């Protein structure tokens, strides 16, 4: 009975609502990850202090259900000195651009496959894992 | 004249660091018990050198995914950076047709070192996640270059 009600409620969730919660949870996880490694602001309480907010407010923001809003995300980014969200273009610009003075000489890509049907006796987690090259290019002096 | 052979003793591992890590798992109640392995993955190795400083930098990225029955995915991307000092680097780099070519033995040594190190880092990083049992396969000589 309970599962039927749950199934019915689940069907009533719109794709927008689902996407909203997914994005919110991803942002919340990212903030928690930054807090875990930040040298000074390493707790929700410390973040609340840095922003001049109540800890309960930060807790609400990071619940995954609250509409944090771009303004508050930006405030957290400034306080933490780290980006919380990046567009695809920004991420590529940041992580794919070679550091100054460096010359890219090889980019190799591989596609891997895991055969979860292959079990190794005595090693429950071990599966047959393989890879094959899928692309390779030498950018030469253009970078 | 016999071709000069690269001496691996001229290679120093300067540093290793995390560059980026994302792990996303859909919030749904019917996710089965964790399997410990992805269903598929891809890797990218970007190699670059700085001739003045005699260093070679490798950026290793792995992307893993598992498709759930609900068609949603568990995904993770992890990027690590590996910096090597190569004494006398200019001896091992040639330029042909506007492309830089690094000595195959040096290139392979760099790849194997970074790949093996990344294997351990990946295993540690994904401890406690859906991909906790994932172990990169042993690389055959030359297969990653």
Question: Closest approach of chain A CAs to the CA of B79, in angstroms?
Answer: 9
> Does residue A103 belong to the interface with chain B, where contact is any CB pair within 8 Å?
yes
Its CATH architecture, for the domain B9-27+34-125, is Roll (3.10)
| Residue of chain A whose alpha carbon sits nearest to that of B43 | A110
Q: In angstroms, rounded to a whole number, what is the distance separating the alpha carbons of residues B107 and B43?
A: 17
Does the distance separating the beta carbons of B27 and A140 come in below 8 Å? no
Cβ pairs bridging A and B (under 8 Å): 121
Task: Report whether pLDDT(B23) > 80.
Answer: yes
Distance from CA of B11 to the nearest CA of A (A): 18
CA distance B103 to B88: 12
Residue A33 touches chain B, beta carbons under 8 Å: yes
Q: Which of B41, B61, B77, B82 to mutate to test the interface with A (most CBs of A within 10 A)?
A: B41
Q: Which two tokens stand for residue B55?
A: 């260093």
* Lowest mean pLDDT across A1-10, B13-22, B84-93, B134-143: A1-10
- Whether chain B has a CB inside 8 Å of the CB on A97: the answer is no
| H/E segment holding residue A113 | strand A103-115
The dihedral formed by the CA atoms of A79, A85, A88 and A90, expressed in degrees to the nearest 10 = -10
| Alpha carbon of B42: minimum distance to chain A alpha carbons (Å) | 4
CA distance B1 to chain A (A): 27
Q: What percent of chain B has pLDDT over 90?
A: 37
Provide the whole-model pTM. 0.63
Cα–Cα distance for residue pair A76/A95, rounded to 1 Å: 22
Distance CA(A125)–CA(B37), nearest Å, equals: 8
Query: What tokens does B16 get?
Result: 């290793």
Return d(Cα A75, Cα A68) in angstroms, integer: 11
Contacting residues of B for A120, CB less than 8 Å apart:
none
Among B21, B23, B100, beta carbon nearest to A105: B100
B99·A140 Cβ contact <8 A: yes
Per-residue pLDDT band for B83 (boundaries 50, 70, 90) equals very high
Is residue B90 within 8 A of residue B74, CB to CB? The reply is no
User: What is the model's pLDDT at position B60?
Assistant: 93
> Computed from CA positions of residues B103, B105, B111, B114, in that sequence, does the dihedral angle turn out positive or negative?
negative
Backbone φ and ψ for B81, nearest 5 degrees, come out as: -120, 135
3-state secondary structure chain B: CCCCCCCHHHEEEEEEEEEEEEEECCCCCCCCCCCCCCCEEEEEEEEEEECCCCEEEEEEEEEEEEECCCCCEEEEEEEEEEEEEECCHHHHEEEECCEEEECHHHHHHHHHHHHHHHHHHHHHHCCCCCCCCCCCCCCCCCCCC
Q: pLDDT, tens digit, for every residue of B27-74?
A: 665 666 556 677 888 889 999 999 989 999 999 999 998 887 777 788
Query: Could you say which of B26, B52, B135 has the minimum Cβ distance to residue A129?
Result: B135
Q: Please work out, in degrees rounded to the nearest 5, the angle formed at the alpha carbon of residue B60 by the alpha carbons of B58 and B61.
A: 150
Q: Which residues of A touch B137 (CB under 8 A)?
A: 112, 129-131
| pLDDT, tens only, A64-106 | 778 888 999 999 999 988 888 887 777 766 666 666 788 899 8
CB-based contact A110 B19, cutoff 8 Å: no
Query: Please, what's the b/e burial string for B44-71 (b: 16 or more CB within 10 A of its CB; e: otherwise)?
Result: bbbbbbbeeebbbbbbbbbbbbbebeee
Phi then psi dihedrals of residue B80, to 5 deg: -125, 155
| Cα-based distances in Å from A40 to A60, A74, A77, B137 | 22, 18, 14, 39
Q: Which residues of A53-64 are buried (b: 16+ CB within 10 A; e: fewer)?
A: beeeebeebbeb
All domains of chain A in start order, with CATH: 2-95 (1.10.260.40), 107-137 (no CATH)
Instruction: Answer whether B42 sits within 8 Å of A108, measured CB to CB.
Output: no
- C-alpha pair distances (Å), B39 with each of A115, A116, B3, B69, B75: 7, 7, 44, 12, 10
CA distance A75 to chain B (A): 21
């Amino acid at each position: 009975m309970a599962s039927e009600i749950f199934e019915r409620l689940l069907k009533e969730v719109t794709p927008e609502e689902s996407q909203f919660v997914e994005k919110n949870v991803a942002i919340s996880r990212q903030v928690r990850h930054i807090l875990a490694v930040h040298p000074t602001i390493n707790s929700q309480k410390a973040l609340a202090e840095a922003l001049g907010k109540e800890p309960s407010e930060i807790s609400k923001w990071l619940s995954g259900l609250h509409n944090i809003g771009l303004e508050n995300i930006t405030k957290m980014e400034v306080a933490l000195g780290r980006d919380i969200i990046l567009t695809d273009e920004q991420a590529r610009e940041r992580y794919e651009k070679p550091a100054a003075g460096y010359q890219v000489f090889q980019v190799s890509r591989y596609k891997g496959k895991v055969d979860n049907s292959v079990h190794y006796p005595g090693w429950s987690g071990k599966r047959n894992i393989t890879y094959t090259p899928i692309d390779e290019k030498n950018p030469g002096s253009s970078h | 004249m016999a071709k000069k052979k690269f001496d691996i003793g001229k290679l120093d591992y300067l540093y290793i660091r995390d560059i980026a890590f994302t792990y996303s798992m859909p919030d749904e109640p019917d996710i089965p018990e964790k399997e410990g392995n992805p269903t598929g993955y891809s890797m990218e190795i970007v190699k670059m050198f700085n001739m003045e400083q005699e260093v070679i930098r490798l950026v290793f990225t792995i992307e893993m995914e598992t498709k759930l029955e609900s068609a949603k995915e568990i995904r993770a991307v992890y990027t690590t950076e590996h910096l090597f000092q190569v004494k006398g680097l200019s001896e091992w780099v040639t330029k042909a047709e506007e492309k830089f070519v690094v000595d195959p033995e040096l290139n392979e040594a760099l790849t194997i070192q970074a790949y093996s190190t990344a294997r351990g880092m990946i295993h540690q990083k994904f401890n406690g996640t859906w991909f906790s049992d994932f172990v990169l396969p042993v690389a055959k000589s030359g297969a990653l270059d």
